[in-house]
Amino acid sequence: AQSVTQPDIHITVSEGASLELRCNYSYGATPYLFWYVQSPGQGLQLLLKYFSGDTLVQGIKGFEAEFKRSQSSFNLTKPSAHMSDAAEYFCAVGGWHNDMRFGAGTRLTVKP
């Protein structure tokens, strides 16, 4: 069965600094991978997704993620954090929504 691990429960970065949120997955076949963002009191919004092809995926809001099959990872990065990036981030793996697994989430705090 597939699973997702987000090792960091909480990350704090300074505004303007780079950020990286880690995601490791377990999946028997080629995975479909997603990053979602949840702002306080809101539902989840898709940041980016990987299905196949180029392993470096560009998303919205300046985020990108790299699929590394050898490391079973799909880490989310952004070169320069903004205050508005403060939110909860979820990594998910699966090919079918009824079979999708979400990580426990990483809460990102951005300091002025």
Partner 1 sequence: NAGVTQTPKFRILKIGQSMTLQCTQDMNHNYMYWYRQDPGMGLKLIYYSVGAGITDKGEVPNGYNVSRSTTEDFPLRLELAAPSQTSVYFCASSLRTENTEAFFGQGTRLTVV
Question: What is the contact surface with partner 1 in residues (CB under 8 A)?
Answer: 4, 9, 32, 34, 36, 41-46, 49, 51, 90, 92, 95-98, 100-105
Residue 31 and residue 92: Cα distance in Å, rounded?
10
Q: What's the token pair of residue 87?
A: 């939110």
Compute the least distance from the CB of residue 66 to partner 1, in Å.
19
Q: Which is nearer to partner 1, 18 or 58 (CB)?
A: 58
Q: Which amino acid is at 30?
A: T
Compute the least distance from the CB of residue 44 to partner 1, in Å.
4
Judged by phi (left if over 0) then psi (alpha if -120 to 50, else beta), residue 97 lies in alpha
Q: Which is nearer to partner 1, 42 or 71 (CB)?
A: 42
